[in-house]
Amino acid sequence: MVMLGNNVEKEDAKKLVENAISSGLALNKFKELVSYQGGNINCIENTKLFPKSEYNIEVISEKKGYINSMDTEEIGKISCKLGAGREKKDDQIDYSAGITILKKTGDFIKTGETIALLHTNQKEKADNLIMDYLNSIKLTNSKPENHKLIYEVID
């Protein structure tokens, strides 16, 4: 028997979590947190209410191969430069900016295939960042080894 905090057994805790999700209690708590932070809770029910960027620019692969690795730090910096984050403390965040990653590590991509979408209201920045995105991924001719997302569950 595994006991968790507050003397709750693991199976009982799992049931409590499943009940919080199925009853809507967890969703209501999430809405409460969003509301406390000044967010629009209507966006949770209807994602079409999220702001949309003016430009959705395709990142098109110039080569074919398997994605062996992705420089996620660089991709994060690209997202920042599109407006989704701050480069300087006083920069404004553009909540419509960001990146939709269409291909991930292990995927095979063909020459001319769209591998990502850059969302921004600053087209002049995005055009320069396409090459940065392409340089952030490393292609190989053979499929890379699958890495586990979860290595072990500790009871």
Domain ranges of the chain: 3-45, 51-140
Tell me which residues of the chain have a pLDDT lower than 50.
3
Distance separating alpha carbons of residues 112 and 130, to the nearest angstrom: 13
CB neighbours of residue 39 within 10 Å: 12
pLDDT at 75: 97
pLDDT at 26: 94
Nearest Cα neighbor of 127 from 82, 83, 95, 61 is: 82
Which pLDDT tens digit goes with each residue over 60-79?
999 999 999 999 999 999 99
Assigned CATH topology for domain 51-140 = Aldehyde Oxidoreductase; domain 3 (3.90.1170)
Chain center to CA of 30: 18
pTM (2 d.p.)? 0.76
